[in-house]
Structure 1
């Protein structure tokens, strides 16, 4: 499908249309549907859709069927094959459908339309249909298809009953020899369930046996002789059935041309009425078709949106106006509006009704679109690069009979350069004399639209009170500065708005802003960030206590003396009256400093060392003592 058609989502319209078709040929035609280029063809297709819509509204749905598989059956008949009973019955059903469709179209002739007169091209082959219905019933050849077949089946039934009665009499006469008191069918033969030990008491042939081997299924000889006669009758029956099927198949083969014509007409009507059903769903109207390059839509709706919530679009283009530039806020419905115009043009030119109150649509040789994000990852193109590539391709193709639709013209790059590119594109479109419909945000493009001949500005409206878009298109008016207005409504201070207005428009005040106060942003207190406290210098901790300091150990408040200073882990050793302990410096409080208790060069080993350690140290200081050692407490 054409790339522009995909962008406009025209394939979704065709998918909806295909759902209303029954026959595969009609569905295939819908899938391949494209705009017609000849005015005569478009008018004819629109007339078909209109008449189908009138019939659906006033008479109802036609009795159309799928006809799947009919052509394959006709090929078999044409090649002198033999159609099965169920296949011939299906042929009869299709002829019944043709008969019902003819009757329906005859009733529609009171509407004085041309479409019902397809009835004369349909032939329900009533004689063949009656012959098929008389001789084929419930997917089998009927008993009364021929006198011989009736007689054969009567004889078969009589002989089958005789065989059963014979078997029942043998069963009653040999109850003690049987494992069950009923006859059974094994391999298509009537058998008796005989005990293995009694097999010689029943005259007959063993046909089967039970899984344990304890029971043998024996066909009595008297029954077997009758069964041979039965099989001969069944062969004759089969031959007679085959003769009848070949005869009926030959009758079908003689009417192949009629069958093919019926199939073609039903497929054509299926396609036409599918268009009518789509018109009913969309509440569509037949547009006027022109070649004067005029597009007029009154209360048009996007065909893929819920018609109960979709805001109607009113649109005019053509005559003295070749182009419309739409501006307005985001989410204001600009893209929906331009897609609505594009889809209405495509649908009208394909012979479909359009969802509007009134439409006047010109024929377009091409509908060229650039809508949405065209980023192409596989070709390593950015959004802007893909956009420009597509635009250049459109400019090469655009001509007098083209309709060009572009969204967000010049977007995706530096605003100043984007604005310049947008105006350059618009100028090129104007030179090509095509009809074009574009959307943009650039104020300079609005100015270009105001000053340039044959171009009109338009805008999508929004409610200033609720700040909600109204999705209504106003042609002849440029879009407002909605961003500043919305910012003011949402509480942006006057000072900021004044500076924004100066930066955007070169003046401090816009009429609709009414900036009477130079207020600024009222700043609120922010949450406090709590930093991790830095650890105290380890050197200060180690110097916190000195040897000999009298300290209080918390929480017991016991008094001791520092015998080892604080180490790098913050732990010191304290001599209590009864023991020495290691304790964190945070649990120790200075009671009396050592300098207040002892002379400056006081030897603390007198307090903390044992007598043995002191004597050993004194000896080591005077001479080498290899056998002495100083012991420390853990």
Structure 2
């Protein structure tokens, strides 16, 4: 089961940026293996180490990290019996010297960076190995003093070479007239003289090669052939002795394999830590505290990829509320808030410094799951909605008090009524599990729910209504508008469509007083009228096209303004009209979801029908009295809420619930609960 949504939150992209600051293969390997930690002590240590490295880096200190060039091959061949070359052994020598320099440097910085300086105490300089390599190898070649036998053999080789040179010079003096040039060459490891092609038979010797043009023949004079054979034997003896020395040194390296590997690991650790420090300096990263209570409070936060353009983010979650509903217009930055919060949490738990104010503190989450973006999958025939629900099903199985869940546009892409119901049910389940949740939405009903439910809170992305520009600033405690019509106007939508949209919204607002519920279609769209087959098509289409509202029959005319202040008691039509509606199939109970047929909205039963058949129903934020005949069953209360669910969360304000809870504990002088007219 996935624990962290790394790719969705661009965590891997951050690691790619981090790799650019590593200088060794061991450091890059540590970065590639980097993952969020879940143990608080380990996270705190990693953050503190990075902060110490940043302090050193900020003072312009040049850390003498050992070069691992060539040492990787040596380590990979340890234990295989491979005979290391002079270059391999010089790489070992260079590495050990660099380890000594690093150890000395870090010990000198012990007061400023005591945590990371501790690693250097384990660095092994291996002076005996260094001394032997230096004794045996000079300037990349095996020295004569490496062994007594090698020294003797090389002296003999020098004598033979000198005798060969003298004899070959004598031959060249006798045959100067037929030489192509007065130069001694080597072919196949043997000394030769260059003779003109037409005269080569005049030289007593063996032809070993000729020039590309064919004009020069290279002859080994007979006078030096025996000496050259002796030289080859001595050179073979030299090679055997050199192999013995290399084998001896390889054995020394093998014996110190554990310390060499440990040195490489420590070097990689320092490279890794200082790469994090250099990256932190680039993004303005700061060390943060870890919360003991599961609360996250961030100040002045920015997404690492949006440092130049993002408005700093201030927010908190996990104390008074663990579910935050974020609303606001499209392109207003809601998704950026989710990604910023999630990515910074992942970075903190990876021991990285993040671009926030130093007084920020983060909770430690055992899992961070994000459902963000278009999850449409054409191969599996999954819509965005189906993909999102599939992801939520998996998350719900493992979510708990230490899980952070980020959801972008919850239950979008489906029927709004069912989407709202599903959204509330999902969020309630997360709340029951005490999971920390941040969700963006355009559903106004979720704003209302968050304002009433315990542990929930609203937040909005600020928007300049005059310039129609998003401000990318999050305000907690308030819900936001979508500004859909205003944005459509700015983007060039025709005036007629804009005017019609505003008319529909105004009628909607007058119907429920909030502008957040379903539309009263009988007040917006003219009702269809029965007509003869000969006239129905053309007349009906003409009436709708011309925007003419056909008169309603007098028996169904609506009285009052339709804003809740109607002439009769329920404010939604005459008793005659109500009596004509079908009888509900069962008794209505408190908490049942019902369809109010006259306005096409879903409401919740606050009080069951009284002796006159009048029920109190909450539709959005408004409670209305309505005849039971105007209600149709939608969902039973037991299918909506778990057993012993406190319905006051829906029907009463958060403030009143807190007061009532306090009253149940003790008497508080002057504490009163105020109710609106019509509430018991």
State the TM bucket, normalised to the shorter chain: 0.7 to 0.9
Deviates more, 1:206-215 or 1:320-329: 206-215
Separation of aligned partners in 1, 2:158 and 2:132: 26
Distance 1:508-1:261 versus aligned 2 partners, 3 A rule: closer
From 492, 495, 502, the equivalent of 2:506 is 502
Separation of aligned partners in 1, 2:294 and 2:387: 30
Separation of aligned partners in 2, 1:279 and 1:198: 77
Residues 518-573 of structure 1 show CA distances to partners (whole Å, capped at 9, x for unaligned) of xxxxxxxxxxxxxxxxxxxxxxxxxxxxxxxxxxxxxxxxxxxxxxxxxxxxxxxx
The answer as to whether partners of 1:77 and 1:250 remain within 8 angstroms in 2 is no
Deviates more, 1:490-499 or 1:441-450: 490-499
| Structure 2 residues not aligned, in runs of 5+ | 516-680
Match status 1:460 vs 2:461: yes
1:347 maps to which residue? 347
The answer as to whether partners of 1:96 and 1:124 remain within 8 angstroms in 2 is yes
Distance 1:347-1:199 versus aligned 2 partners, 3 A rule: closer
1:328 maps to which residue? 328
> Bigger radius of gyration, 1 or 2?
1
Residue 195 of structure 1: how far off its partner (Å): 4.4
2:38 maps to which residue? 37
Residues 51-110 of structure 1 show CA distances to partners (whole Å, capped at 9, x for unaligned) of 222222236342224636646535755455532111111111111221121122122124
Q: TM-score, structure 1 length as denominator?
A: 0.74
2:584 maps to which residue? none
Separation of aligned partners in 2, 1:30 and 1:123: 24
The answer as to whether partners of 1:407 and 1:440 remain within 8 angstroms in 2 is yes
| Structure 1 residues not aligned, in runs of 5+ | 512-634
- Report 1:39-78 matches (<5 A): 39-58=40-59, 60-65=61-66, 67=68, 70=71, 73-74=74-75, 76=77, 78=79
1:258 maps to which residue? 259
The answer as to whether partners of 2:30 and 2:269 remain within 8 angstroms in 1 is no
Corresponding residue SS for 2:274:
helix
Residue 471 of structure 1: how far off its partner (Å): 1.1
Residues 241-262 of structure 1 show CA distances to partners (whole Å, capped at 9, x for unaligned) of 2232223222223322322322
The answer as to whether partners of 2:376 and 2:382 remain within 8 angstroms in 1 is yes
The answer as to whether partners of 2:53 and 2:113 remain within 8 angstroms in 1 is no
Separation of aligned partners in 2, 1:327 and 1:352: 30
The answer as to whether partners of 1:334 and 1:460 remain within 8 angstroms in 2 is yes
Residue 134 of structure 1: how far off its partner (Å): 4.2
Corresponding residue SS for 1:303:
coil
Corresponding residue SS for 1:460:
strand
The answer as to whether partners of 1:501 and 1:507 remain within 8 angstroms in 2 is no
1:111 maps to which residue? 112
Q: How many residues align?
A: 510
- Report 1:377-456 matches (<5 A): 377-456=378-457
2:284 maps to which residue? 283
Separation of aligned partners in 2, 1:448 and 1:488: 30
The answer as to whether partners of 1:152 and 1:233 remain within 8 angstroms in 2 is yes
Residue 341 of structure 1: how far off its partner (Å): 0.6
The answer as to whether partners of 1:77 and 1:83 remain within 8 angstroms in 2 is no
Corresponding residue SS for 2:110:
helix
The answer as to whether partners of 1:190 and 1:219 remain within 8 angstroms in 2 is yes
Match status 1:338 vs 2:342: no
Separation of aligned partners in 2, 1:474 and 1:224: 96
1:362 maps to which residue? 363
The answer as to whether partners of 2:4 and 2:367 remain within 8 angstroms in 1 is no
Separation of aligned partners in 2, 1:506 and 1:60: 69
Separation of aligned partners in 1, 2:310 and 2:457: 25
Separation of aligned partners in 1, 2:177 and 2:150: 42
Residue 143 of structure 1: how far off its partner (Å): 4.4
